[in-house]
């Protein structure tokens, strides 16, 4: 009877943990809508609108190490709850930001949201990977991560319905459009934190060793591990490609299909995210029969070609941009698992540095915006993700040759 109760609580804990992947998917991809929306509300250039992702992913970068230290001292569950509180608090800041009509205030709110997501990802990813045999970690994490694009789809659909308009709004009316969705997100996130607080989790999720300093001491050792650092670099470039493509997909569609309008273009982004989700499920199935590095090398190679096709523009180029999402699907969790393989006591510190690599979403999205402004066309910006996928291909091939997967 007691064992049955423990199993039920473990299932409930797994369901709630998987839900976290959905929640941060909503937050991440609402940014893609915000970029298109704020570009009109505040009359921004492509580079300036890309600062949405810069502020967001800077939050990830700054709070990944504190999140790892929290996981050491407090355990995974407490770290996740802290992350949810920051996430909800940042969403609430959208209300005063819209009232003050301040782009800078919005960027601060996004930074706070991302700081909370850094805690969530640093704790949730390794926790899921550790819930079973090491050889099944990539498949297990891909399955959990499959709910992330479902959240992404929900986020873009929410933004397309409540925020975007084919007749772009400016000034106060445009800024006020973000209030309802973000207040709703804040409510859901804070309720989720309350439910987690009163849910019984397995010991592995709540255990704290009180030695937060050990995580800090481990970073020097990690820097001396070339294979691990190659994984950090691969994640930097992968996230840069993913965030950049999704951030500018609406802009790209408006450019190559005149008259399409931001709201209709946002539904193309939704299609792209749906392909990403399908790719996660198919990828998880393929990973049960193929090693992760080999499959990732194939998918990254295909995306190099699709990104170069996108540079040419037109309907074919737009279709290529949308299609890249299917092949991006397995990359983040696979790089995550390959990078952490064999780290032992350095796993928590290693996970935080992988999360820090998400700063690629800020750096490379800005690079795409700058290239677009300099060349006068968003099509040229697709050269950046082509380069990123080349780096991922090289990492995957190296891991495959070394037999890491």
- Cβ-based neighbour number of residue 403 at 10 Å: 8
Give whole-number Cα distances, 97 to 179, 352, 362, in Å.
9, 30, 21
Q: Which CATH superfamily does the domain covering 215-404 fall into?
A: MFS general substrate transporter like domains (1.20.1250.20)
Q: For the segment 344-381, what is each residue's pLDDT rounded down to a tens digit? A: 778 777 887 888 898 999 899 999 999 999 999 999 99
Q: For the segment 45-97, what is each residue's pLDDT rounded down to a tens digit? A: 999 998 998 899 898 889 988 888 888 888 888 899 999 999 999 999 999 99
pLDDT at 29: 84
| Res. 264: pLDDT tops 90 | no
Give whole-number Cα distances, 204 to 74, 150, 244, in Å.
12, 27, 36
| Res. 340: pLDDT tops 70 | yes
The share of the chain scoring above pLDDT 70, in percent, equals 88
**For 322, what's the count of Cα atoms within 13 Å in the CB-facing half-sphere?**
18
Domain extents in the chain: 1-208, 215-404
Give yes or no for a contact between 110 and 31, defined as CB atoms under 8 angstroms apart: yes
pLDDT at 308: 97
Give yes or no for a contact between 382 and 313, defined as CB atoms under 8 angstroms apart: no
CA distance 39 to 215: 41
**101, 66, 272: which is closest to 171 by C-alpha?**
101
CA distance 194 to 206: 16
| Res. 5: pLDDT tops 50 | no
Topology agreement, domain 1-208 and domain 215-404: yes
Give whole-number Cα distances, 94 to 114, 170, 295, 361, in Å.
14, 17, 41, 22
Query: Model-level pTM?
Result: 0.80
DSSP letters along 303-353, please? Answer: HHHHHHHHHH-HHHHHHHHHHHHHHHTTHHHHHHHHHHTT-GGGHHHHHHH
Average pLDDT, the chain: 86
Residue the block writes with tokens 């601060």: 108
Stronger pLDDT, 261 or 383, i.e. the higher one? 383
Question: What six digits make up the tokens of 385?
Answer: 């993700």
Give yes or no for a contact between 25 and 147, defined as CB atoms under 8 angstroms apart: yes
Q: Which CATH superfamily does the domain covering 1-208 fall into?
A: MFS general substrate transporter like domains (1.20.1250.20)
pLDDT at 6: 40
* Stretch among 16-25, 150-159, 202-211, 320-329 having the lowest mean pLDDT: 202-211
Question: 167 φ, ψ to 5°?
Answer: -110, 90
The share of the chain scoring above pLDDT 90, in percent, equals 44
CA distance 265 to 268: 5
| Res. 150: pLDDT tops 80 | yes
* Stretch among 57-66, 132-141, 283-292 having the lowest mean pLDDT: 132-141
């Amino acid at each position: 009877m007691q064992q049955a109760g423990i199993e039920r609580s473990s299932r409930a804990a797994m369901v709630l943990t998987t839900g976290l992947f959905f929640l941060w998917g909503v937050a991440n991809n609402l940014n893609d809508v915000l970029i298109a929306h704020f570009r009109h509300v505040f009359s921004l250039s492509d580079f300036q609108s890309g600062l949405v992702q810069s502020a967001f992913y800077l939050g990830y970068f700054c709070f990944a190490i504190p999140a790892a230290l929290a996981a050491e001292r407090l355990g995974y569950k407490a770290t996740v709850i802290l992350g949810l509180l920051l996430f909800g608090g940042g969403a609430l800041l959208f209300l005063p930001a819209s009232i003050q009509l301040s782009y800078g205030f919005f960027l601060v709110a996004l930074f706070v949201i991302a700081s909370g997501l850094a805690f969530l990802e640093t704790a949730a990813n390794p926790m899921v990977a550790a819930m079973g045999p090491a050889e099944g970690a990539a498949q297990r994490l891909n399955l959990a991560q499959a709910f992330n694009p479902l959240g992404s789809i929900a986020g873009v659909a929410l933004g397309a319905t409540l925020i975007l308009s084919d007749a772009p709004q400016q000034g106060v009316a445009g800024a006020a459009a973000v209030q309802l969705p973000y207040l709703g997100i804040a409510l859901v996130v804070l309720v989720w934190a309350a439910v987690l607080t009163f849910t019984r989790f397995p010991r592995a999720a709540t255990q704290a060793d009180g030695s937060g300093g050990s995580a800090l001491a481990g970073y020097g050792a990690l820097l001396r591990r070339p294979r691990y650092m190659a994984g950090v670099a691969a994640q930097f470039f992968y996230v840069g490609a993913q965030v950049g493509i999704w951030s500018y997909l609406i802009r790209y569609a408006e450019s190559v299909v005149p008259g399409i309008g931001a709201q209709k273009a946002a539904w193309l982004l939704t299609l792209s995210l749906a392909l990403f989700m399908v790719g996660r499920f198919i990828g998880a199935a393929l990973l049960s029969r193929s090693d992760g590095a080999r499959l990732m090398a194939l998918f990254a190679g295909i995306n190099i070609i699709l990104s170069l096709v996108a540079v040419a523009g037109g309907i074919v180029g737009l279709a290529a941009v949308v299609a890249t999402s299917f092949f991006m699907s397995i990359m983040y969790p696979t790089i995550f698992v390959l990078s952490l393989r064999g780290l032992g006591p350095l796993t928590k510190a290693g996970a935080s540095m992988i999360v820090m690599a998400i700063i690629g979403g800020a750096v490379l999205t800005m690079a795409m915006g700058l290239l677009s402004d300099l060349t006068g066309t968003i099509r040229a910006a697709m050269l950046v993700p082509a380069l990123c996928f080349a780096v991922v291909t090289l990492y995957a091939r190296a891991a495959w040759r070394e037999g890491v997967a």
